[in-house]
Amino acid sequence: MFEITDKPIQAEAIIKKVHKADCGAIVTFWGTVRSPSEGKEVIYLDYEAYAEMALPQLEEIGQEIKERWGLEGVAISHRLGRMVPGDIAVVIAVAAPHRREAFQACQYAIDRIKQLVPIWKKEVFGDGSRWVEEH
């Protein structure tokens, strides 16, 4: 299940979506808005996406995980719009029969999101803003 949403992410629902009887492990990753960043207090972030390309890229990551680890229980929800420190920007859930593959695939998913998905965040500080360029 892959989605891009402008509403707060319902993490419990995402975990329920990937759970299957033959899976002994579910690993989740939550990407949270942090402050300070680069030593400066973050007032808020604005996230935007090239939605027509971002959603297929999330599905592509799911396909890569299926091919590499044989796992189908993968869910990614990425939120867009304005968020403040403490908000959850992305939730990934991966279910697997055993924990080793679940941990590996979940890490892979967040690494690939940062490489592959056309989403950008702008940090807004008290004295200005910047589009974040590093991963």
Partner 1 sequence: MRIGVRFFAAFRDVVGHSHLELETPPTTTVAQLRELINRRFPRLKDAPLRMAVNTQLAEPEQLLHEGDVVALLPPFSGG
Binding site for partner 1 (CB under 8 A): 31, 47-50, 52-54, 56, 78, 89-90, 110, 113-122, 131-135
Q: Which C-beta is closer to partner 1: that of 24 or that of 118?
A: 118
Q: Which C-beta is closer to partner 1: that of 57 or that of 101?
A: 57
Please, what is the Cα angle at 116 between 6 and 128, to 5 degrees?
A: 60
Q: Which C-beta is closer to partner 1: that of 6 or that of 133?
A: 133
Q: At closest approach, how far in Å is the CB of 123 from partner 1?
A: 9
Q: At closest approach, how far in Å is the CB of 91 from partner 1?
A: 11
- In angstroms, rounded to a whole number, what is the distance separating the alpha carbons of residues 67 and 130? 37
Q: Which helix (H) or strand (E) holds 101?
A: helix 99-116
- In angstroms, rounded to a whole number, what is the distance separating the alpha carbons of residues 59 and 79? 16
Question: In the Cβ-directed half-sphere of 129, how many Cα atoms lie within 13 Å?
Answer: 10
Which are the contacts of 113, defined by CB distance < 8 A and separation ≥ 6?
A: 58, 61, 76, 78, 90, 92, 119
Q: At closest approach, how far in Å is the CB of 130 from partner 1?
A: 9
Q: At closest approach, how far in Å is the CB of 33 from partner 1?
A: 12
Q: Which C-beta is closer to partner 1: that of 46 or that of 97?
A: 46
